[in-house]
Each structure stands twice: as structure tokens, then as C-alpha cells.
Structure 1
Amino acid sequence: MKVKSLLLGILTGTIVAGAGTLLSTPASGKDLRKRILENKEEILAILNEIKGKAMDVKNEALSATLTSKESVKAFTSEVKTLMENWKQDIQPHKEEIQHRISEIEGAIQELEGVVSKPTSAEKENNK
């Protein structure tokens, strides 16, 4: 698509430069009209070619837009499916981890209780 845009730009520039050259040459109005009439068919052919190329570029841009929309929709749908599958896959592991964390918290509380109770030797020393 970039190549066509470049060619279209070059072609347009050529036509504009040619028209500018024709109109800026020091010639009488009669000579200028004669040259324009002589080159009329060539100028019209070039203009029709530019119009055709512009339509091609427009159609390609529309096609690319539709293709990208379809690709984005397909990608989004696939990502959603993968996320749902991942959530289902990790659910048992998540529950197991939560269960283990609860067990560890219980063990920590037991240890804190044991550590905070004075031993029998400490009780005798305090007397």
C-alpha cells in the first residue's frame, strides 16, 4: 500500500509540475491554448489513471481495515478463551494453596503460644 501511495504522489507531482510548466512558459495565449489542446488527451489519460490509482488505494485501505477488525476480534476471542481455561486450570491449585496457608497460620499461632508460655524452669526462677 505504501508503494502505491508513493507512485500516486510521484504521478500527481509530475502532472502538477507539467501543468505549472505549461502555464508559466513565456508564450502567447494562442500558443498556450494550442499546446493544451494538443496535449488534452494525454492529460485526460493521466488524470484518469490517477483517479483509478486513487480508487485502488481507497479500496485497499478499506480491505485492510476490515481485515484488521476481523483479526482483532479473533485475537480478543482467543485471549478470552485462554484466560477462562487458565482460570479453570489454576482453581484447584489456588484452593490447595489457600488450605496450606491456613495450616501454616495455625502452626504459627501454636508456636507463638508455646513460645509465650513460661517454662517450668522460668517459673521457679521467678519465685
Structure 2
Amino acid sequence: MKASTFFIGLTTGVIGGVVTVLLSTPQSGKDFRSSLQVTKEDYQNKLADIKDQMQNIKGSIDDIKHEAKQTIPKFVEDTKESIASWQTETSPIQDNLQQEIASLQNTVEEIEKHLSEFQNRKRGKNT
């Protein structure tokens, strides 16, 4: 909600309230003016409080934006560095694992080959 819309609504409400009070008050003119003055001061104080709170909120938002602009790029850079470091550290391990996998595949192929030869010889003897 925009602040101007809020203040227009607030002003409209205050004016409507004042008109309603003027038309329905059983007080004398002097008492009513005094009451109206107190009400006016209350609304002015409330309006000043709202304005202060809006300024505080705006300041907080500005602080958060400023901190985010400083923190997020540093976090991204640190994350990139961590990933690069991890890749550098794990690259030799990955190479070793790939070599071991290739070695295991060769061993399995040799076992399959020997098993096939064994089965063929066994069949040759049985016939």
C-alpha cells in the first residue's frame, strides 16, 4: 500500500468522524470545541507516530538492502571458491576411481572369458 493512499484514507476517515461528531454531539459549543481540540491533537500525535514508524521501516529496509548488497556477492564468491577447491581436491581421487573401475571391468571380462573357456572345455569332455 502506498503511503499517500493510506494518508488519503486516514484524512477521509478523520473528516467523516468530525462531521459525524458535529452533527450528533449533545455538548455545548465551548465543550465541543475543547473536545475537538483534544481529538485533533490525538490524531496529530497518532499521525506523527505513524510517520515515525514509516521512517523507521524505510530505514530498516534500506539497511537490509545495503547489507544484502554486501553479503550476497561475498557469499556467491566464497561458494564459487569452495566448489573450485573441492573440484581440485577431488580430481585425483576421481581419476584413481576411474582407473580402478576400468581395472575391475577388465578383471570381470577376463573372468568371464576364462569361465566361458572352462565351460567350453567341460562341454568338450562330456561329449
TM-score tier by shorter-chain length is 0.5 to 0.7
Counterpart of 1:77 in structure 2: which amino acid?
E
- The TM-score, its normalising length taken from structure 2, stands at 0.65
Q: Which moved more, 1:100-109 or 1:66-75?
A: 66-75
CA distance in 2, matches of 1:63, 1:39: 36
Cα deviation, residue 37, structure 1: 3.6
The equivalent of 2:9 in structure 1 is none
The equivalent of 1:99 in structure 2 is 99
Correspondence 1:111 to 2:99: no
Structure of greater relative contact order (alpha carbons < 8 Å, 6+ residues apart): 1
Counterpart of 1:49 in structure 2: which amino acid?
D
Q: Identity over aligned residues, as a percent?
A: 18
CA distance in 2, matches of 1:59, 1:47: 18
Q: Which blocks of at least 5 consecutive residues in structure 1 are unaligned?
A: 1-15
CA distance in 2, matches of 1:125, 1:39: 115
1:4-56 deviations in whole A, cap 9, x for unaligned?
xxxxxxxxxxxx89x95995484269454453345545543442333122112
What is the aligned counterpart of 2:25 among 27, 35, 44?
27
1:64-83 deviations in whole A, cap 9, x for unaligned?
13213432222222111111
CA distance in 1, matches of 2:53, 2:113: 85
The equivalent of 1:8 in structure 2 is none
Correspondences of 1:1-127 after superposition (within 5 Å): 20=17, 24=21, 26-27=24-25, 30=29, 31-37=31-37, 40-41=40-41, 43-117=43-117, 118-119=120-121, 122-126=123-127
Q: Which moved more, 1:34-43 or 1:55-64?
A: 34-43
The alignment yields a C-alpha RMSD, in angstroms, of 3.4
- The TM-score, its normalising length taken from structure 1, stands at 0.65
CA distance in 2, matches of 1:44, 1:100: 80
Which contiguous aligned blocks of 4+ residues in structure 1 show a shift greater than 6 angstroms?
A: none
CA distance in 2, matches of 1:122, 1:39: 111
CA distance in 1, matches of 2:96, 2:89: 13
CA distance in 2, matches of 1:124, 1:88: 56
Q: Which moved more, 1:23-32 or 1:52-61?
A: 23-32
